[in-house]
Every structure is written in structure tokens, then in C-alpha cells.
Chains A and B, each alone.
Chain A
């Protein structure tokens, strides 16, 4: 499925300084729906080019990284269990820097 990924708050530095990535994600074998959990590991493998520990901690994003799915906080849609559909826009923003 076609997805748009956006990185902000400094995370873009982990992906060659590109803020917006339009990607094509294939569903893992035998799975009908794509969840955020799957997407995260896909992003970690295919999009993050350096220092993955800044983005991911364990199974989920590093504490301090906000995730918005179609402009809506993922905590409202189930965090890792959120299902992703075609043409969705997912935004990752880091809050871990000076203000």
C-alpha cells in the first residue's frame, strides 16, 4: 500500500535529512492488515539510515516520539494496534530537544 511518512523534530536527520517519504509497503506474508507494529519494524529496516535507537526502543517508538496517524494521535486509535490503510499519512515527531 502507498503511504506517506513524515519525520519531524530532528528525526529527519536519521533518514538522510528527508522529511517526507512516500513509500510502498507490502504486507508481511499471511497477514491481512497492516498494524503500526509491523510498520514500525518496516520503517526501522527500510527508512532509518542511522542511530535507530533514537527512533525505536524495544517494540515501540522511543519515549518522547509522537506518532500521528492522519493527524490524529495514535493513542486514540490503539497505539501499536492501530491499523494502517492505503494512502494514510503517518507523522513521527521527536520532542527531545531544547526549546
Chain B
């Protein structure tokens, strides 16, 4: 051979031999595989033809011939084979032809390999492999891909409806789409995936609209879970992995997002029924399924919130209706029931939160928001803060309505504190609680100190010291007062000549801790005047720097009534006692005479006289004996009064303090807002209006929720008082003035 140039036709003739052999192999005809020798000959032919000196360097022509060979093969063999086939058969044929084509390209590439090494780089033309794919793409794929897409989609549809299909075939077919992208996914996406996703959407939209009518909520969820599983399986079986996210999203949307409210609010099987029937599994499934959808849990949490809100509000309504159906003076039995119901509701849903909803913060938030709705409603004029305080009071009273064990009491008090977090007007609660605490400490002998301190420390922990500091002072006061009292007894023993002759105890309280009580300029009976004087004498030996203000309205007296049938001991308030003792000196007294002697205001006196002459126990006889007191009435001691007991308590109904409590709290709020603003300004020095507002609300949130107008008013006031000023250049900024 040596250095002789190979002529093109001659060389190509050699190649053609090899090519024909290859075609025969591909056609399945009897042929021996290529031997090493044959391969080397073909390779070398190309090599030589490319390394000859110009004009005998045939690289370009060979490159063209390579392409033409493929084109010609496709046109003459491949296309006709596809022409008459349909459906699955066409798919099968195409897959086979593509496989063959790839083999052909593989072998031809080997023969023509030398072109890949230099020519394609030199001329910046596509590599042989790429040319191979492009030929198929242009001549076959462009022609058939719409039909192929149709066939594939209809097979998928068949499978969705339950039929078995040839998954391997589909996998191979779809791989063609991918490979036709020459490294990009665009052919797969444009020629198949886009329509596939659309048809998937349509398919599941149809199914969903049918199932939502027919199926129960749990069944629907089960079906949805199944469908999603199947689709994931579909991807791993024959779709390209990149389709998974898009596909699942579409399916989730059609099945679970579009109909979420209808689904979860189903009358007979929706969320509320699942809760009612304690279907923990179904609830967990709901969470699980929606957790996989972006923002899916928001949807469920929303339905959850509405459900809880409706339940809570129903209890409130129940209490409202029950109370208004009864006489107005019934003690708040219905409110007690309401609080019990709400506590139970809370327990229940906290359990669900943990067992079904993984304590997810979206559900925590939903629960909180739901409770905030109905825990701030007024029931028959009583604000929720008062109701809660009454409930706590009821439990802490000696005995309560049922004999509860210490543990149960502790538990319940803990729950009350938890419930308080949902009440916005915590300062109103604190004030009602304080008033009731005062009554318990002063009148309810035998209150359990441990429980009292325990709930106060729980409140302090949750809501901070400002809420409870005064109350703690009150509890301590009572303990100290007992010590004082022992001291006083000792003093009396040591000074028998100053003993007033009456058995009496004094409870000294620190004014600042206790609720404010009206002061009455009551003229005491002389026996009591003596007592007061003696105590004053004693107290001055103890301390010179304190002033005593006597609140007789809080006192209790035991009076022996010498009634004709039998003597009875009367337990009355000191004010009532003052009225009764007047009758030791006079048999009959008119209203005006009583007023003159006692020096009380009409409202107060009427209440007292009513309790002694028109209520359950008629200690005094009234002329005329009408049901209410008028200023022209007269009163006489009733000697015939009797009762089966030897000792009775004559109640004096307390004045309705609700209005005053709310007034007092309202009066204090501006000061609290002022303090918060000044604190914030002091630490920040300069701040924007928005931030000031939001930080003020945040700081005060443990006590109440100030509205923006109230805060703005305080800002105005603080500006007038030169605590803060508005920035000259930035009208929305404020500066602290030291």
C-alpha cells in the first residue's frame, strides 16, 4: 500500500461493504458479527482518506457521506416501517427502530471515528453521535411525535382507569422524547409533558368533582392518598423523574386544594364529625396529606379554627340564653358551667393538637385565635374577665360547690391561668380577682393559703409581677394581721383596765394592696367606740408613723338577739349591727331618726334596713310592711322573730361592683400606656411612630390591648408635657426629651 493515495470512490466502496453488512445485521438477516480485522480495515480506510494531502483529504466528503448514509437508511427502511402502524404497535415499532438506529450510529461512529477527533473540532461541526440523533430527529421524530404523544397519553389514561399496560414500552418511548432534546429537556417538556400535565389536571378535576359529592371525607382522603401514591409510582416506572414535582402538585391541587373547604366542612363526615367521633386516624391522615402540599396546612388549620370557634361560641350562647331565661338574681351557675365547658374544650383540642397535628405551630395559632374569639364575649352583661375571676373564686372558697381534692383544685386553677391567656382584658380580670380575693380573705374563714399562693405564683409566672404584686401583699397582710391580733390580745391581758368588755379582733391591712372601699362616716354604737379607742392606744405603742382608717363596712359582728321564743345569735355586718343596737335604746324608730343617729347616706341605709326587715329574716318589723324601704317608714324590734337554728347569718347583699371595677380599670389604663411609652422612648431615644405603636401594644399585651387612638392620645399628652417631641424633619419620628 505505502504512500499511494486512495481515491474517493475506491475508499467509499470499501466503506459501503461494511455499511451494507451492518444493515443486514440490523435487519436480522443471517450475518456474522464484525471481526476485529473487518473493523480495523474500515477504521483505517477512513483514517487514510483523511490524512492524505490535499486535494485528496476527503474528510468533508466523508462527513457528508456519513450523514447521507443515515438519512438514506431512515428514508428507505425506517419510515416505511412506521407508516402503517397504529397505537401500541406503532409505539413498539418506533422503539425498535430507534434502538436499531442507535446501534447503527454506534457502529458507524466507530468506523468514522477519526472524523470525531480532528475534523469536527477544526470545522466546528456537530460530532458524529449528535449528527446521528439529529438525522432521526429531523426525519422521524418531527413527523411522528404528535401521534406518539396521543398514543402514550391514551395508554396512561387506560392505566389510570384500571387497565394493565406495557410500562416498559412506555418507558422506552418516553426516553426517546428525552433523547431528542440533545441534552436539554425541552422536547420532553414541550412535546409530551405539557399536555400530559393538562390531561392529568382534567382527569383529576373530573374525578374530584364526582367524589366530593359521593364520598365521605375520610373516604375521599383515602382515595386521594391512593391516587398520589399511584402517580408517584407512575413516575418511577416510566415518566422522567423531573415530572414528579409538577405532577404531584397538579394532582394535589385538583383533589385537595380546590375542594378543601367542601371536603373538610362536609355535614356528615367533615372535620367537626371527626372530632365529635374522636376519629384520630382520619384526623391524622388529614394532617399528613395536607402537610405535603405547600400551604396545605394553612387550609386545614383554617377549618380547624372555624370549627373550634363555632363550638366555643355555642357554649357562650348557651350560657347567655340559660341565664336570661331565669330570674335575674340567680347566682352565676350558668357561667360556672360555661367556664367548665370551655376548659374541657381546651383540654380536648390540646390533645388533638398533640396526637393528630404534631403540635404544629399553625394549629397552635389557630387554636389560640379561635379561643380569643369566644373568650372575650360578654355573657348577660358580665365580661369574660369577670366570669373567669368568679370561677376561680368559686373554687377557692372554703369547700366550693363540690368537695374537690387538692390535686383537682390545683389542676383546675392551672387551667384557669391557661385560659386567661386568651382573655384580652387581663387587667379587668386582675381587678375582679382582687376584689373577690379580698372578700375571701376577710370573710371566708379557713381559706386555703397554699392554693391562694399557688394560683398567684402561676399568674405571676405567666403574666408578670405587675398583675399579682398587690394580691400577694394582700395574702401576706392577712397573715401579719393574725400576728398583730395575738399581740393585741397580749396587750389586753397585760392591761386589763383598758379592756373594752367586748370580744373583738382587728385586721390591719396595707391600704395600697387592697381594693379601695368607700369610707362611711358612721356613728358607732358606744360599745364599739370604746373598742376602737383601746385598739388605737395599743397600735400607737407599736408604731407612730402609720395612720389607721377604719372600714367598718368590712367588719362582722355577733349580736345576741333576745327574742321571745328563744335567743338567737345573729351574725351581721358591723353596719347592720349599728342599726340593730339603736333599738336597745328606743323601741321604735323612724327612718329619719335612724339617718340622724347613724349618719349614713340613703342608698346605704336603705340596703341595710331592707336586709333586716324585708328579706329572709325579719329582725325588725317595718311600718307599713311593704316590700321596699321608703323614707317615711318606721321600724320596731321584732320580739317574735325565730328560726330553727340558734345562730344565723343575716346576709347583706353586696353592691354590684362590676361598673366600678370597669371604671377603675379604664381610669388606670392611660397611666399604664404613658409608662410603657416613656419606658420605650427612654431606651430607644429615637423611634418611628409605627414602631412606637407596635412596641407599646407588645409591652402592654400581658395586661390589655390598647387601641391605637388611646396610644395616640397619650403621645399627644406626653408631647405637651415635654417628655417626647416630634422630629422637625421627619414627622413620623419621635425623640425622647431627657
- The answer to whether A and B belong to the same complex is no
Residues of A within 8 A of B (CB): none
